[in-house]
């Protein structure tokens, strides 16, 4: 679920932190869910363990997760209102469409690319 863009000006630990915070905020990762161990996520993403550890530490400091030896890192209940998953999808779609248009494409080309990426050209618009 987490992707790191090495060409981004945002440091990898911040990309991991932001994406996990977003998944927690919209309820994809619910209270009590266990995050992967630091070393496992680091290996999966091709990052140093210290990078993932820093992201987890910042999530702990912001009240998103708690870490206990022997129990791992778990998502805490959130006091802020949950961000609607549909709103996040719309926000990401807007960013994607803006990039397609910047490249000289159209909304229809963006939809076609999404269908192709999904591997199903019959997905309705």
Q: What tens digit of pLDDT does each residue of 65-81 get?
A: 999 999 999 999 987 76
Of the ranges 45-49, 102-106, 121-125, the best mean pLDDT one: 45-49
pLDDT-derived band at 45, boundaries 50, 70, 90 = very high
| Structural domains in the chain plus CATH codes | 12-75 (1.10.10.10), 85-118 (no CATH)
Helix 12-25 and helix 38-45, axial crossing angle in degrees, nearest 10: 110
**pLDDT (mean) for 77-100:** 84
Question: Are 6 and 47 spatial neighbours (Cβ–Cβ below 8 Å)?
Answer: no
Is the per-residue pLDDT at 121 higher than 80?
no
CA 124, CA 11: separation in Å to the nearest integer?
37
Is the per-residue pLDDT at 84 higher than 80?
no
* Percent of the chain surpassing pLDDT 70: 94
């Amino acid at each position: 679920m987490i992707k790191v863009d090495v060409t981004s000006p945002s440091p990898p630990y911040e990309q991991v932190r932001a994406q996990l915070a977003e998944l927690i905020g919209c309820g994809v990762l619910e209270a009590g869910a266990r995050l992967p161990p630091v070393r496992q996520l680091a290996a999966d993403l091709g990052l140093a363990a210290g990078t993932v550890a820093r992201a987890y530490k910042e999530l702990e400091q912001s009240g998103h997760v708690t870490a206990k030896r022997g129990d791992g890192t778990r998502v805490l209940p959130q006091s802020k209102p949950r961000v609607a998953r549909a709103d996040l999808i719309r926000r990401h779609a807007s960013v994607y469409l803006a990039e397609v248009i910047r490249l000289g494409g159209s909304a229809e080309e963006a939809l076609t690319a999404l269908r192709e990426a999904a591997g199903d050209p019959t997905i309705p618009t």
